[in-house]
Structure 1
Amino acid sequence: MKESYPNIHVILPAAGSGKRMGMTTPKQYLQIGDKCILQWSIEAICEYPSVASFSIAIGKNDKHWVNVAPLIKQKTDVFFGGEERANSVLNGLRYLEGKVREDDWIMVHDAARPCVAMDDIKQLMLAIDTHEVGGLLTAPVSDTIKKVKGTKITGTLDREKLRRALTPQVFRYGILRQAIEVCFEKGIDITDESSAIEQAGYKPAYYDGSSDNFKLTHAEDLSLIEAILMKQGRLV
C-alpha cells in the first residue's frame, strides 16, 4: 500500500547576519563540502514526499543568496525576513496569504539545522496527523538542570519533564499566524513557533528526534556537522 503524506508549506528563516557567531559570512552560507549550510538544510527538508511550497526568508542586505540560488535544484520562493526569527516567520506567513488554506500545515525549519533526519520528520508528521494545532521535534535533556538566582543555585528541575525544542515545528496556518500576531501586539517575546502556540492556550504535540539535529552556533560545530552528514551518507 502506497504511503500518503499531507501537503505542507515550508518556511525557512535564513535572514540572520552571522553577528552572534562572530563571522563576516552569515552561518547559513558557510561551506561544508561543495554546498553551504543553507543548501544542506533545504535538501534535507525537500526529501519529504509532499512539500507543496518552499519559502525562504533572506535579509534585505543579503549579498550571498544571488550566488546560491542558481545552485538550488528545488523550486523555492524568496521573501524578506525581519530583525528576529519571529519577524521572519510572520513575514513568511503573510507572504503565503491567499496561497494556502487556514488548516494547511506550515513547517518552519532553522536554516542552520542541516542534519535533520527524514525519519524524524515523518514520525513528527505521524504524531500530529490528527492534532488540532500541530507540534515540533524535540530532544530529551541529558544534563541536570539547575535553577539559579544571582550567584546561588536555588533548585533542580526534573529533566524527565523537560525537552529541548528543535525544528521542524509544524502548525496549522491560521492558528500559527494569529498566535504570532497576538504575541507581537501584546509585546510577548517568542523564540520559536511553539512559544506563540502555547501563549494562545494550546498544547502542541512533540516527537523526540535525534540529537544530531542541532543548530550551528559555534565555528567548531562545522566539523561535527560534516561528520554527521558523512554518517548520514549525504556527504561523500
Structure 2
Amino acid sequence: MADASPRADHWAIVPAAGIGARMGTDCPKQYLPLAGTPVLTHTLERLAAHLRIAGIVLALREADPYWRALAFHCPKPLHVVTGGASRAASVLAALDWLAGREQPEMPILVHDAVRPLLHADDIERLCAEPLDEHGCLLATALTDTVKRTDAAGRVRETVPRDGLWTVQTPQRFRLHVLRAALAGALAAGSEPTDEAQAVERAGFHPRLLAGRRDNIKITVPPDLPLAECLLAAQTRSDHPTETTQT
C-alpha cells in the first residue's frame, strides 16, 4: 500500500527581529514567558511538530542577546538569518537564503513569532489548499460593528462589515512570488504590514481561509494573560483525559 502520510513540503519563516515597543517591556515580547515558556518557543514548537513543515528560517535582529539563552532544540532543520529594520526586510532576508537552496515554486509559510497558539488543524487546512500564484492565508471574518472616527475621536460613520476580515498568519505563497513582491515593495519605498499586502501590490489576489479565533497575536500587555487562558483551554480540548485525572 502506498504511504498516504503528508510530505514535509513547506518551509516556515518566522520574523522575530522586532523589539515589541507596544508591549512596554524591556524584553522583546517574543521572549516573554507564556505559562512558564517563552512565547517564541511555543511558536517554533508548533510549527516544527507539523508533518508538512520541512524546516524553519528564523529572522532575528543582529546580536540578539536572548536567542542563545533560549537553548531551543528543533527536531527539524532551523536556520537563523539576520533580520532587517522592518518585517518585510526580515522576511525577504529569509527568502533570499531559501532561494539559494530550494526551487522557486517551494510553498512558504510566514508566521508571526508572537502567535504561539497556532493549531495543527489550521496548518493542515492551509497547506492542503491548492496553491496558485495568488497564495492564501488565515483570517477571521469581522463580527463586531465597525466605526470610523474623525480626528476628535467622534464617530464619523458605521462601516458595513460585509466582506471585512482580520488577517492572521500563517500566510502561504510560492517562494518566488513572495520574494519578488517584497523586493518590489521595498524598492519602491513601500512598507507592507503583512506578506499579503506586498503580493496584492504586485497584482495578485490571495484567498482567505477561515482560521481559529484563538490564534491570537500577542501585541499589548493584556494579550499575554488572555493567551494563557486560551492555551489552557486548548490543552484541555486536545488532552481531555489528562486534564481530568486526579
- Paired AA for residue 191 in structure 1: T
1:77 maps onto 2:73 in alignment: no
Match of 1:229 among 221, 228, 231: 231
Distance 2:50 2:160 in 1: 35
SS of residue matched to 1:161: coil
Q: 1:94 matched to which residue of 2? A: 96
Q: 1:135 matched to which residue of 2? A: 136
Summarize the Cα distance change of 1:230–1:46 in structure 2 as closer, same or farther, 3 Å threshold: same
Q: CA deviation at 1:74?
A: 4.1
Q: CA deviation at 1:228?
A: 1.6
Q: CA deviation at 1:2?
A: 2.1
> TM-score by structure 2 length?
0.88
- Spell out, residue by residue over 1:168-206, the C-alpha distance to the aligned partner (whole angstroms, 9 max, x if none): 001000011111111111122200000011011111011
- Paired AA for residue 201 in structure 2: Q
Moved more, 78-87 or 155-164: 155-164
Would you say the 8 A contact 2:20–2:219 is kept in 1? no
Would you say the 8 A contact 1:81–1:87 is kept in 2? yes
> TM-score by structure 1 length?
0.92
SS of residue matched to 2:71: helix
RMSD: 2.0
Moved more, 180-189 or 110-119: 180-189
Summarize the Cα distance change of 1:14–1:160 in structure 2 as closer, same or farther, 3 Å threshold: same
Q: CA deviation at 1:5?
A: 4.3
- Spell out, residue by residue over 1:209-233, the C-alpha distance to the aligned partner (whole angstroms, 9 max, x if none): 1111111012222222112222222
SS of residue matched to 1:96: helix
Q: CA deviation at 1:122?
A: 1.2
1:180 maps onto 2:182 in alignment: yes
Q: 1:25 matched to which residue of 2? A: 27
Q: How does 1:113-128 map to 2 (within 5 A)?
A: 113-127=115-129
Q: Find runs of 4+ consecutive structure 1 residues off by over 6 angstroms.
A: none
Would you say the 8 A contact 1:147–1:156 is kept in 2? yes
How many residues matched? Answer: 235
- Paired AA for residue 124 in structure 2: K
Q: How does 1:52-67 map to 2 (within 5 A)?
A: 52-67=54-69
Would you say the 8 A contact 1:133–1:204 is kept in 2? yes
Summarize the Cα distance change of 1:168–1:130 in structure 2 as closer, same or farther, 3 Å threshold: closer
Q: How does 1:124-163 map to 2 (within 5 A)?
A: 124-127=126-129, 129-151=130-152, 152-163=154-165
Would you say the 8 A contact 2:17–2:61 is kept in 1? yes
Would you say the 8 A contact 1:131–1:205 is kept in 2? no
Would you say the 8 A contact 2:54–2:76 is kept in 1? no
Would you say the 8 A contact 1:18–1:24 is kept in 2? no
Q: CA deviation at 1:126?
A: 2.4
Distance 1:20 1:84 in 2: 15
Distance 1:40 1:135 in 2: 24
Distance 1:186 1:4 in 2: 39
Unaligned runs of 5+ in 2: none
